[in-house]
């Protein structure tokens, strides 16, 4: 049974920003609900008000423009990304990460923005968005700010978002279109599961970046690495950004080892 | 709040508590208990239903969100007292044992067949990965889906049985 709360579904962004303006910490935003409702059920959150974003026109839009790049609205689901022809064509790494996120039914509900805002270290969408230099667009009654995704996460389940703010879109610049990439996620079972480690690699032609999930307090990414870098140097660059811990899913040693292993395999597969 | 929902082609109007999940609404308010609650947190898929034409875990949807929507559940699968082809295939292949996962499994299988009319074994495994079955070991379920989509090759009987 869920705690008692009121359900609100504002019909416009203006109404939404008004609802958030008080900065009340007992207001929670609902998009796909695949994290929020489980967290309420488990007693992690006790909201007084749940605000549904999905009734706001335009929030489910994926827009692509050769100059402006790709914009993903806050209620765009993972399956919407996977079935969008423009995303498939221009951002294969985004699709690679989306494909590995949870199960089919969950992908029908879970959103890209939710996966980022939830700020789990094992976020599956973050590795792609980190490699592709996504910008998080945040709005409130105080105005609008744009934060590079690398600065968005501040810790385990923590972000720069204030209580009166909402992420109104994620933007990927057009110069990242066509970047090829692969995502590999280690799980306990072949079916849907949270990652033990996840490694994404993006080849920009003039260099490559590697992003890692489940191996630090936040998902992390390397700087641009030269394509002729030796494998030991690549591993060094990856080891410099991760801070793995032991937890219920595996030990620190295993996690470290598998990040290295996946990095080696992907570097061979995609770069050399 | 008052919601109006179409479930298996019947329109229902009900007053609901705003914290009620779609799953509880279907089971307790409408009495449609074919849809099961397994884990209640999106792991097992026993509560899978169609929500505006897409499969979802109904334990992670609020009934309030479903206002104005179209829901399909296992109760709408058979028609006129006749099992659907998918249900028949499940029955014939022994894909139902305790039956707890079956309602959700049939919903996901229907969606899978809609996406892939002639699915490969790998596509079936991926399409059903969100539905746990603790009895069959999945093989009978995969065979049932293959059978109903024309991809089933019967195995030879073991001679010594």
pLDDT tens profile A79-121: 999 999 999 999 999 999 999 999 999 999 999 999 999 999 9
What is the per-residue pLDDT for A101?
A: 95
Q: What is the mean pLDDT of residues A202-229?
A: 97
| Interatomic CA distance for residues A243 and A212, integer angstroms | 10
Contact B108 A37 (CB under 8 A): no
Residue boundaries of the structural domains of chain B: 2-76, 85-148
Residue boundaries of the structural domains of chain A: 6-52, 62-175, 177-270
Could you count the other beta carbons within 10 Å of the beta carbon of residue A222? 21
Write down how long chain B is. 161
| Interatomic CA distance for residues A252 and A265, integer angstroms | 20
Chain B residues within 8 angstroms (CB to CB) of chain A: 1, 17-21, 40-42, 45, 48, 51, 54-57, 59-62, 64-65, 108, 111-112, 125-127, 129-131
What is the per-residue pLDDT for B155?
A: 80
How far from B33 is each of A2, A264, B28, B64, CA to CA, in Å? 19, 50, 8, 19
Contact B111 A104 (CB under 8 A): yes
pLDDT at residue A244 is higher than 70: yes
Residues A97-110: b if buried by 16+ CB within 10 A, e if exposed: bbbbbbbbbbbbbb
**Nearest by CB to B55, which of A7, A102, A108?**
A108
Q: What percent of chain B has pLDDT over 70?
A: 99
What is the per-residue pLDDT for B154?
A: 87
What is the per-residue pLDDT for B158?
A: 74
Give A1's pLDDT tier (boundaries 50, 70, 90).
low
Q: What is the pLDDT of residues A4-26, one digit of tens each?
A: 999 999 999 999 999 999 988 89
What is the per-residue pLDDT for B159?
A: 74
Whole-number mean pLDDT of chain A?
A: 96
The answer to whether A41 contacts chain B (CB < 8 Å) is: yes
Contact A104 B1 (CB under 8 A): no
Q: What is the mean pLDDT of residues A26-44?
A: 96
What is the per-residue pLDDT for B161?
A: 57
CATH topology of domain A62-175: 3.30.465
**Nearest by CB to B1, which of A7, A30, A54?**
A7
The answer to whether A118 contacts chain B (CB < 8 Å) is: no
| Interatomic CA distance for residues B100 and B91, integer angstroms | 14
Cβ-contact B45, B34 below 8 angstroms: no
Q: What is the pLDDT of residues B12-47, one digit of tens each?
A: 999 999 999 999 999 999 999 999 999 999 999 999
The answer to whether A105 contacts chain B (CB < 8 Å) is: yes
Closest among A115, A265, A271 to A179, alpha carbons compared: A271
Q: What is the pLDDT of residues A48-82, one digit of tens each?
A: 999 999 999 999 999 999 999 999 999 999 999 99
**Please, what CATH class does the domain formed by B85-148 belong to?**
mainly alpha
**Nearest by CB to A108, which of B19, B41, B56?**
B56
Q: What is the mean pLDDT of residues A197-216?
A: 97
Q: What is the pLDDT of residues B71-88, one digit of tens each?
A: 999 999 999 999 999 999
CA distance A182 to chain B (A): 19
Q: Answer yes or no: CATH 3.30.43 is held by domain A6-52.
A: yes
Mutate to test the interface with A, among B62, B66, B111 (most CBs of A within 10 A): B62
Cβ-contact A212, A266 below 8 angstroms: no
- Report the run of H or E that residue B70 belongs to, with start and end: strand B70-72
Q: Is A55 exposed, middle or buried (0-12, 13-18, 19+ CB in 10 A)?
A: middle
Question: How is residue A162 written in tokens?
Answer: 């204030």
| Interatomic CA distance for residues A155 and B124, integer angstroms | 38
Report ipTM for this prediction.
0.94
CATH topology of domain B2-76: Ubiquitin-like (UB roll) (3.10.20)
Q: What is the pLDDT of residues A140-189, one digit of tens each?
A: 999 999 999 999 999 999 999 999 999 999 999 999 999 999 999 999 88
| Interatomic CA distance for residues A263 and A225, integer angstroms | 13
Could you count the other beta carbons within 10 Å of the beta carbon of residue A164? 17
Helix B102-115 to helix B139-148 angle (10° resolution) is 40
Place of tokens 């990304």: A81
What is the per-residue pLDDT for A191?
A: 81
CA distance A119 to chain B (A): 19
What is the per-residue pLDDT for A200?
A: 98
Cβ-contact A4, B17 below 8 angstroms: yes
Q: Answer yes or no: CATH 3.30.390.50 is held by domain A177-270.
A: yes
Contact B108 A6 (CB under 8 A): no
Residues A14-34: b if buried by 16+ CB within 10 A, e if exposed: eebbebbeeeeeebbbbbbbb
| Interatomic CA distance for residues A241 and A121, integer angstroms | 13
Residue A7: list chain B partners with CB under 8 A.
1, 18-19, 62, 64-65
Place of tokens 């996120």: A101
- Residues 6 or more apart in contact with residue A12 via CB below 8 angstroms: A56, A57
**Nearest by CB to A106, which of B1, B42, B64?**
B42
Residue A106: list chain B partners with CB under 8 A.
42, 57, 60, 130
**Nearest by CB to A106, which of B19, B20, B130?**
B130
Residue B50: list chain A partners with CB under 8 A.
none
Cβ-contact B7, B71 below 8 angstroms: yes
Q: Rounded to 10 degrees, what is the CA torsion of A27, A28, A31, A36?
A: -150
């Amino acid at each position: 049974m869920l705690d008692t709360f009121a359900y609100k579904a504002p019909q416009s962004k203006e109404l939404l920003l008004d609802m958030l303006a008080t900065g009340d910490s007992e207001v929670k935003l609902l998009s796909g609900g695949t994290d929020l409702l489980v967290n309420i059920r488990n007693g992690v959150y006790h909201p007084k008000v749940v605000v549904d974003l999905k009734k706001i026109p335009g929030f489910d839009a994926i827009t692509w423009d050769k100059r402006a790049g790709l914009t993903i609205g806050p209620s765009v689901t993972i399956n919407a990304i996977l079935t969008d022809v423009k995303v498939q064509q221009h951002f294969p790494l985004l699709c690679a990460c989306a494909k590995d996120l949870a199960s089919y039914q969950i992908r029908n509900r879970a959103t890209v923005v939710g996966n980022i805002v939830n700020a789990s270290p094992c976020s599956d969408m973050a590795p792609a968005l980190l490699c592709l230099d996504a910008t998080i667009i945040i709005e409130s009654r105080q105005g609008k700010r744009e934060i590079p995704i690398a600065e968005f996460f501040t810790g385990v389940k923590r972000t720069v978002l204030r209580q009166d703010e909402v992420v109104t879109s994620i933007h990927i610049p057009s110069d990242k279109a066509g970047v090829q990439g692969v995502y590999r996620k280690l799980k306990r079972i072949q079916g849907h599961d949270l990652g033990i480690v996840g490694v994404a690699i993006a080849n920009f032609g003039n260099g490559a970046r590697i992003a890692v999930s489940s191996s630090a307090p936040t998902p992390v990414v390397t700087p641009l690495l030269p394509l002729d870098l030796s494998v030991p140097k690549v591993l060094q660059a990856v080891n410099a950004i991760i801070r793995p811990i032991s937890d219920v899913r595996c030990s620190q040693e295993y996690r470290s080892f598998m990040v290295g292993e996946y990095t080696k395999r992907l570097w061979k597969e995609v770069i050399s | 709040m008052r919601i109006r929902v179409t479930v298996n082609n019947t329109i229902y109007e009900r007053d609901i508590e705003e914290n009620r999940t779609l799953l509880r609404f279907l089971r307790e308010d409408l009495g449609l208990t074919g849809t099961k609650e397994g884990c209640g947190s999106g792991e097992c898929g026993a509560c899978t239903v169609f929500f505006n034409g897409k499969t979802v875990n109904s334990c992670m949807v609020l009934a309030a969100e479903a206002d104005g929507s179209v829901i399909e559940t296992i109760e709408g699968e058979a028609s006129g007292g006749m099992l659907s082809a998918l249900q028949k295939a499940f029955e014939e292949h022994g894909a139902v044992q305790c039956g707890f996962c079956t309602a959700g499994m049939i919903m996901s299988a229907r969606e899978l067949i809609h996406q892939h009319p002639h699915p490969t074994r790998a596509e079936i495994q991926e399409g059903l990965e969100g539905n746990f079955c603790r009895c069959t070991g999945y093989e009978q379920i995969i065979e049932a889906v293959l059978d109903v989509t024309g991809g089933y090759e019967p195995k030879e009987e073991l001679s010594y049985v």
